[in-house]
């Protein structure tokens, strides 16, 4: 089953080839599973072994390659013709004497693309140092170039169908966040609240189920909220706990990340003040966003909105997101921070995430948004507030 029309995949391929030509790349070896999905539709939990998609300027279709037992998964989920689905035998899997990149090189030779400028995604989670070494060993006379983020930047502008899936993910995110807020209370085990969140993520809505998220539910409490990426532990919530929630809905691998904060008891004045400042800054910044402004101007607007307060945010305040697989729902392109002069364009989707982490506690309230023709549209309908459970 394809989630998009074949014509949309072909248009994505055309744009990718244009970007390849601009970088002087004749053949691109795509190993990021989100980019593989974007170009072909391939959707399987097989990224723990080496796999990829070969995009050549002189070929109409890409070639998928991966473990032989995953080949039927490629036939089921992609738009590719059967001869462009190629599986390697199991003696390649986690072997010390042969490597799947050698199989990819054999494919390149078979289609006459072994003596061309080859681009590889050098800085992604799934392309290892051994992958690069093997390619250089097997192609000693070839020029291997950095093809990192070529597809990611093509992905930055979402189609109408992609936006529909993002909206579906947002409906799930609303249910997920409400489930989390409802589940957290004094005496409740953190793991039980997290289990409820997982159930809400997968069960989705009455109209459609959800998918697994690229990031686990981030749900730290108490002192653990003083940092960004911790989750539940084997303890029960206590009066005086701050609980950070960074969760997501997901549909057809498209995400809707969302953050909120819960306090058990009467909030201390410092937390209450920080919450008001952050939410004010969030609202002011969302009002500013429109096509033509740059990513760094968005961050600057946030900084000016909170000027004069005790809130300091040294890290970026947002990033592009959308289609993805573990371990991240971010696209690794746009960052809302000084120095990023990317011009925002209609169809871009960004998670505005001004998380604050102090020495003893943190506060989070975020919004995923779509850049529209005239401004921006927030995807999720959920109160922007500090949730207090006395």
Same domain, 266 and 367: yes
Residue 363 near residue 311 (C-beta atoms within 8 A) = no
Same domain, 133 and 274: no
Residue 141's pLDDT is 85
Same domain, 119 and 185: no
Is 33 part of a structural domain of the chain?
yes
Residue 26's pLDDT is 98
| Cα radius of gyration (the chain) | 22
Same domain, 269 and 302: yes
Same domain, 71 and 195: no
User: Does 1 score more than 90 pLDDT?
Assistant: no
Q: Which of 155, 187, 211 is the C-terminal boundary of a domain?
A: 155
Cα–Cα separations (whole angstroms), residue 342 to 226, 255, 294, 317, 351: 31, 22, 5, 15, 15
Domain region containing 151: 6-155
Same domain, 175 and 148: no
Q: How many CB atoms lie within 10 A of CB 288?
A: 17
Give the mean pLDDT of 165-181: 98
Q: What is the DSSP letter of 344?
A: P
Number of structural domains, the chain?
2
Give the mean pLDDT of 285-303: 98
Average pLDDT, the chain: 97
pLDDT band at 104 (very low <50, low <70, confident <90, very high): very high
Give the mean pLDDT of 290-319: 96
pLDDT band at 36 (very low <50, low <70, confident <90, very high): very high
Same domain, 316 and 170: yes
Is 361 part of a structural domain of the chain?
yes
Same domain, 331 and 280: yes
Is 314 part of a structural domain of the chain?
yes
CATH number of the domain residue 131 falls in: 3.40.350.10
256 sits in which H/E element: strand 254-264
Same domain, 119 and 216: no
Same domain, 216 and 255: yes
Is 128 part of a structural domain of the chain?
yes
User: Does 248 score more than 90 pLDDT?
Assistant: yes
166 sits in which H/E element: helix 160-183
Same domain, 113 and 166: no
Instruction: Supply the DSSP string of 270-329, one letter for each residue.
Output: HHHHHHHHHHHHHHHHHHH--TT-BHHHHHHHHHHHTTTSS----S-SEEEE-B--TT--
Same domain, 372 and 293: yes
Is 113 part of a structural domain of the chain?
yes
Give the mean pLDDT of 193-222: 98
Instruction: Match 């002011």 to its residue by tokens.
Output: 284
- How far is Cα 167 from Cα 269, in angstroms, rounded to an integer? 36
Is 1 part of a structural domain of the chain?
no
What is the percent of the chain with per-residue pLDDT over 90, rounded to a whole number? 98
Give the mean pLDDT of 137-146: 94
Q: Which of 155, 183, 199 is the C-terminal boundary of a domain?
A: 155
Cα–Cα separations (whole angstroms), residue 70 to 34, 37, 39, 204: 16, 14, 17, 27
Q: What separation, in Å, do the N-terminal and C-terminal C-alpha atoms of the chain show?
A: 48
pLDDT band at 142 (very low <50, low <70, confident <90, very high): confident
């Amino acid at each position: 089953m394809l989630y998009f029309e074949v014509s949309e995949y072909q248009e994505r391929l055309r744009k990718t080839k244009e970007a390849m030509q601009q970088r002087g790349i004749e053949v691109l070896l795509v190993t990021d599973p989100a980019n593989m999905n974007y170009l072909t539709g391939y959707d399987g939990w097989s990224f723990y072994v080496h796999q990829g998609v070969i995009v050549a300027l002189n070929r109409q279709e890409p070639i998928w390659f991966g473990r032989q037992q995953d080949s039927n998964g490629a036939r089921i989920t992609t738009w590719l013709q059967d001869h462009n689905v190629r599986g390697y035998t199991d003696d390649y899997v986690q072997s010390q004497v042969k490597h799947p990149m050698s199989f990819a090189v054999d494919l390149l030779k078979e289609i006459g693309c072994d003596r061309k400028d080859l681009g590889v995604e050098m800085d992604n989670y799934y392309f290892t140092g051994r992958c690069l070494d093997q390619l250089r060993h097997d192609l000693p006379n070839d020029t291997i170039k950095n093809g990192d983020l070529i597809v990611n930047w093509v992905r930055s502008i979402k189609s109408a169908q992609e936006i529909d899936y993002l909206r579906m993910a947002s409906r799930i995110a609303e249910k997920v966040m409400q489930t989390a807020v409802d589940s957290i209370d004094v005496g409740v085990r953190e793991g039980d609240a997290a289990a409820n969140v997982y159930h809400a993520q997968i069960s989705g809505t009455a109209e459609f189920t959800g998918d697994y998220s690229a990031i686990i539910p981030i749900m730290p409490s108490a002192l653990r909220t003083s940092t960004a990426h911790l989750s539940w532990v084997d303890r029960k919530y206590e009066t005086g706990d701050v609980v950070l929630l960074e969760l997501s809905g997901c549909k057809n691998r498209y995400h809707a990340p969302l953050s909120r904060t819960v306090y058990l008891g009467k909030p201390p004045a410092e937390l209450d003040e920080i919450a008001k400042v952050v939410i004010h800054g969030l609202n002011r910044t969302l009002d500013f966003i429109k096509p033509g402004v740059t990513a760094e101007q968005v961050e600057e607007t946030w900084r000016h909105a909170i000027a004069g307060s005790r809130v300091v945010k040294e890290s970026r305040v947002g990033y592009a997101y959308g289609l993805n697989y573990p371990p991240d729902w971010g696209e690794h392109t746009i960052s809302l921070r000084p120095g990023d002069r990317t011009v925002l364009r209609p169809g871009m989707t960004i998670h505005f995430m001004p998380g604050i982490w102090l020495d003893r506690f943190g506060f989070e309230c975020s919004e995923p948004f779509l850049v529209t023709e005239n401004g921006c549209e927030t995807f999720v309908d959920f109160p922007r507030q500090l949730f207090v459970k006395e």
